[in-house]
Amino acid sequence: MAKDFITAVVYYKDRVEWACISREKGIAGSSTNGSFVIPEPDKEGEIKRKPIDVSGIKGDVSLCLSGESVLLKVLTLPSSNNEEIRSMAELQIDKLSPFPIESMVSSCEVLRKSDNEARVLLAAVRQDMVQQAGDALEKLGVKSVRVDATSLGWCAVLRNAKIIPAEGRHVFVIFNGEMPEIIMFQDGLPALFRTISGVEGMEQALMEDDIASEVANTLMSAELELGSVDNVVITLLSGGNTSDSLVDMIQARCMCEVAVRSLDGLQALAEGAAQRHLALSQTKDPCMDLTPAAWKDRGASLDLKKKIINYSLAAIGLWVVLVGGFALDFFYQKYRLASLCSERDALKPTYLEVKEMRNKVLTITRYMERKYSALECFREICTVQPEGVELNSFSYRKTEEISIAGNAQDVTQVYTFKEKLDTGGFFKESVLTGPIKNKDREDFKIVIKLAAGDIK
């Protein structure tokens, strides 16, 4: 059964986490995962490959950038046409981006469609940040074909765990050892993304205060954009212990229920991102891809080279098969010819002996046949000879043919003579030469084939 692979690589500046899943007929199969620290470049700017094992990273590679690097915004656009959605998304990104659009890579993804509108996720990232991550991985021998965001990978993890309610407003605050990420869902769809940066190295109390303030600001932004709701649930997802003081602080500032859940029972982020890549590869609607145009051109060029190589190998293989077939056929025909010649040579003495005997028998048979003697033939000719036709010559060749020449008063008599010879039943056929006018007579010549010539 045909099998290929998809690998998601989560890039954290100084380290990488990855997960590779097998793909069989569009369905996710077994998975493997790993991580490694990106070594510091040497004086020449090169990263040593020897200590890094990237053999598990195979197939289509999706590069996931941290949430702080990617600008994410969810909007409702007044169209359900994919081309119109892409055009409107480009205009909105130009308005939202704090950097010149020429320096950005942007994309969009349709979250949900109705008859005349679509809920769309817009994304933008600086090209130099994508290039920096891509170059670091490429020096290790890993080439990416797709660029995504870790925030969307977490959405896939939460969706696969089936912990996103279909209704209401729910906020997930994710602590996985990196910068905390906030993802808000409204009626089962992502509605708002935030990354809490700058908390590394802070004292515990200051960090918790900063996180609680960011969560409260996120809820306030959601009320301004989406309107207020009666009940909001906040879930803290952590890979370690979550302090009670942080829970109490968030609950006091946000005035809503706060739940705590461990990340240990969920998929790894890289595995969720890999399964997201698989799901997006099967949709026809616009989906997130922050791959720079230069990378796509490079990929298209490599694909073209691969196709040319494959077609060339196929053509060479076909040529070899055809030449081999012609060669085999040639040698087989040559062998058959030699075999037939050998058989002919073996039968030739017998054939010549039989042929000589047959000729003798045929000669005797023809001479014993008196019906076609010269006298009988001349008698038959005279019998059908019309009045007014005179014969000047009669030439007889035993069992083969008779040649007669003569003249007549007019051409009608000549044609009548020939017709009687042909229809009399005695002779096989006749060939007339002439008639030719000679003074007041019509000269002609008739060659008559004898039926005795058929005796073989």
Q: What are 431-452's pLDDT values in tens digits?
A: 888 888 888 888 999 898 876 5
Tell me, which fold does domain 371-454 have in CATH?
Gyrase A; domain 2 (3.30.1360)
> How do the domains of the chain map onto residue ranges?
1-161+266-291, 165-263, 371-454
Angstrom distance (rounded) from CA 73 to CA 122: 5
> Cβ distance 445 to 402 under 8 Å?
no
Residue 53: CB partners within 8 Å, gap ≥ 6? 34, 36
Phi and psi at residue 325, to the nearest 5°: -65, -45
> Cβ distance 191 to 184 under 8 Å?
yes
Q: What is the pLDDT of residue 182?
A: 93
Q: What is the pLDDT of residue 1?
A: 39
Q: Which amino acid is at 44?
A: E
Q: What is the pLDDT of residue 367?
A: 66
Q: What are 103-119's pLDDT values in tens digits?
A: 889 889 999 988 889 99
Angstrom distance (rounded) from CA 286 to CA 5: 22
Phi and psi at residue 385, to the nearest 5°: -70, 120
Two structure tokens written together for 63: 């590069």
The reply to whether domains 1-161+266-291 and 165-263 share a CATH topology is yes
pLDDT surpassing 80 at residue 26: no
Q: What is the pLDDT of residue 121?
A: 92
Mean pLDDT of 275-279: 88
Q: What are 363-377's pLDDT values in tens digits?
A: 777 667 667 778 888
User: What average pLDDT does the structure give for the chain?
Assistant: 85
Q: Are strands 181-186 and 70-77 parallel, antiparallel or unpaired?
A: unpaired
Most confident of the following: 38-52, 308-322, 419-433: 308-322
Q: What is the pLDDT of residue 154?
A: 92
Two structure tokens written together for 341: 């010649």
Confidence grade of residue 44 (pLDDT, cut at 50, 70, 90):
low
The percent of residues in the chain predicted with pLDDT above 70, rounded, is 91
- 131 by Cβ neighbours in 10 Å (0-12 / 13-18 / 19+) ranks as middle
Q: What is the pLDDT of residue 456?
A: 44
Who wins on pLDDT, 344 or 400? Answer: 344
User: The domain 1-161+266-291 is classified under which CATH number: 3.40.50.720, 3.30.70.270, 3.30.420.380, 1.10.10.10?
Assistant: 3.30.420.380
Run of H or E including 11: strand 4-11
Tell me, which fold does domain 165-263 have in CATH?
Nucleotidyltransferase; domain 5 (3.30.420)
Mean pLDDT of 141-150: 88
Angstrom distance (rounded) from CA 139 to CA 127: 18
Put residue 354 in one of left, alpha, beta given phi > 0 → left and psi -120 to 50 → alpha: alpha
Check the CA dihedral 251-257-261-263 and report its sign. Answer: negative
Q: What are 280-292's pLDDT values in tens digits?
A: 888 878 788 888 8
